[in-house]
Amino acid sequence: MVTLLNKWFFILLIPAGLYIGERIHEEKPLFTERFFNSLHPIHVSVTEINHNAADKTLEISVRIFTDDFEKVLAQNYKTRVDLINPDKKAMDKLVSDYIKTNLTIRADSKPVNFSYLGFEKEDEVINSYLQVDNITTVTKIELVDKLMHDLFTDQTNLIHVTVGGKRKSMKLDYPDKEAVFIF
């Protein structure tokens, strides 16, 4: 019950302009999927990208509900996953690999390589931190965000990008995965 309430509280923190509606399954879901979805009525990730002009970096954070993140990591890497009481080195590798596989970024039409900085648990969410160095200026950010698409067909990925103090946001509902921000 607490997890459910925390998820709904988290949704209230999303900017008012980004409404998250339920997706209607095109196929009849299995009993287990219906049961699991009734426990977790919303599947959402939030990716924040901030251009830090002083440090010449893109600072990236990715927020995913802990229980959902553990489930997708266990499914994809066929191993026991515990992000609450982690073997930090092993879990850092899984989190880093998963995000780098499912989130790609281009700055001014050039692919970027990001460094994984780590993750931390905050309430019911895992915050993962990444950074791209040597980004002096940026006028266009392109993303392919497939986070959690391999687990949920009702996944919503919210993306917020801030450049020069100007913030833009986009909502991607499964199967949509591409976003472009021009500043």
Look at residue 41 in the predicted model and tell me its pLDDT.
Answer: 74
Dist CA 35 CA 143 (whole Å): 32
- More confident: 118 or 17: 118
Tens digit of each residue's pLDDT (9 = 90 or more) over 49-78: 999 999 999 999 999 999 999 999 999 999
Quick one: pLDDT band at residue 15, thresholds 50, 70, 90? very low
Averaged confidence pLDDT in the chain: 84
Quick one: pLDDT band at residue 86, thresholds 50, 70, 90? confident
Dist CA 24 CA 5 (whole Å): 23
* Residue reference for tokens 């901030």: 50
Tens digit of each residue's pLDDT (9 = 90 or more) over 98-155: 999 999 999 999 999 999 999 999 999 999 999 999 999 999 999 999 999 999 999 9
Q: Is the pLDDT of residue 11 over 80?
A: no
Q: Where are the domains of the chain?
A: 43-182
152 CB-near residues (< 8 Å, 6+ apart) = 43, 68, 174
* Residue reference for tokens 């993962």: 128
